[in-house]
Amino acid sequence: MLKKYIFLINQFILGHKKTFIALAAIILLTGVFEIIAFYNSTKKIDSNYEDYFSISYNSFKVTIPKNLNFAGEKVPIKEPTVRRAIARELQKNIYEQTHSLFLHKRASRWFPIIEPILKRNKIPDDFKYLAIVESQLTNAVSPQGATGFWQLIGSTAQGYGLEITNEVDERYHVEKSTEAACKYFKEAHKMFNNWTLVAASYNRGMGGIQTQLDKQNAESYYKLLLTAETARYIYKVLAIKEILSRPKVYGYQIKKGDLYGVPATRKIKVDTTIHDLSAFAIAQGFDYETLTTLNPWLRSNSLTNTSEKKYIIEFPRKGTTIVDIEKKQIPFPFQKQIRQQL
């Protein structure tokens, strides 16, 4: 019975051969037109996407640069462990695009302040990238209490001359904390005579790095077996350096107008007590939030200064006028306590 049905179907197809060929051709052409229509619609979407966004998204395989160095010291990229480590950090940072874009913005704001301090102290410029790895250029506080751009703990910061009280914490003062970090870098370089080891010791400590050098009979950071955090530390710095110094190479199309700038400020020298910083800010034509934004090292609403130490408090310069407290006779306790420094 089955053979009979197959025979009848075969005879039917042979009898309507032209019809089936025409039908197959129609189906084929319809498929081709559908593909063309889909391609055109996709192309239109891509065009709309490019018109809508100022930056196109690029996905690509990370290629290790031919030459890498930290502070002029060559990175042995031909070694497999080194290549894998730098590839990992590049891959991670390149594809965390939102995060990396903010780093570009913050670097534009803070590097012009950090760079001259490093240069003045004869510290290689590459050390500015440590501040990114440490704090992302924010006044962060770690669970262990390390604070500020350079993540200094209290005892270390005070040992390098920073003031820490209930009212003042100079770890939040970018210029002063950078000076303190430079003191550490100089001290560490006397010990190691190698900038890469100096940078690694900023994460592990001078004693920690020296112990491992002696224990492992090694001379290079790249030959040391270290804890996971310290083992990745220099590679993180190198990856950040690559991406921030060569953004276009890594797919970032950043316009100058998208970056943060360094605000113009006027500086007021204070050498006596200010009992009410909110009132002080208002007297300058600003609010307390503006004062603390530009001076995050002020940790209270008052500044006790019985020793007549000289502090510099900053306010925005653009569109403001210098407040003459004496002439205005403003009835605040700090009336005669500030000196103007342009």
Q: Which of 10-24, 103-117, 191-205 has the lowest mean pLDDT?
A: 10-24
Q: pLDDT tens digit string along 223-237?
A: 999 999 999 999 999
Going by C-alpha positions, the residue among 232, 261, 260, 270 that lies closest to residue 86 is 232
Nearest alpha carbon to residue 200 among 229, 179, 243: 229
At 268-299, the pLDDT tens digits run 999 999 999 999 999 999 999 999 999 999 99
Predicted pLDDT at 253: 80
Q: Which residue has the higher pLDDT, 185 or 66?
A: 185
Residue 49's contacts (CB-CB under 8 Å, 6 or more residues apart) are 56
Name the pTM for this structure.
0.76
3-state secondary structure 259-290: CCCCCCEEEEEECCCECCHHHHHHHCCCCHHH
Report CA 245 to chain centroid distance, whole Å.
12
Mean pLDDT of the chain: 83
- The tens digit of pLDDT for each residue in 210-260 reads 999 999 999 999 999 999 999 999 999 999 999 999 888 887 888 888 888
CA-nearest of 213, 221, 178, 173 to 197 is 221
Count helices and strands (H / E) in the chain. Answer: 13, 5
Bridge partners (DSSP) of residue 70 are: 73
In tens, the pLDDT along 55-109 reads 444 445 677 888 899 999 999 999 999 999 999 999 888 877 778 888 999 999 9
Beta strands in the chain (DSSP E): 69-70, 73-74, 265-270, 311-316, 338-341
How many Å apart are CA 62 and CA 57, to the nearest integer? 15
Q: Rounded to an integer, what distance in angstroms lies between the CA atom of residue 196 and that of residue 211?
A: 16
Residue at token pair 């290629």? 63
- DSSP per residue, 112-167: HHHHHHHHHTT--GGGHHHHHHHHTTS--B-TT--BTTTTB-HHHHHHTT--BSSS
Coil, helix or strand at residue 311:
strand
Going by DSSP bridges, is the β-strand pair 311-316/338-341 parallel, antiparallel, or unpaired? unpaired
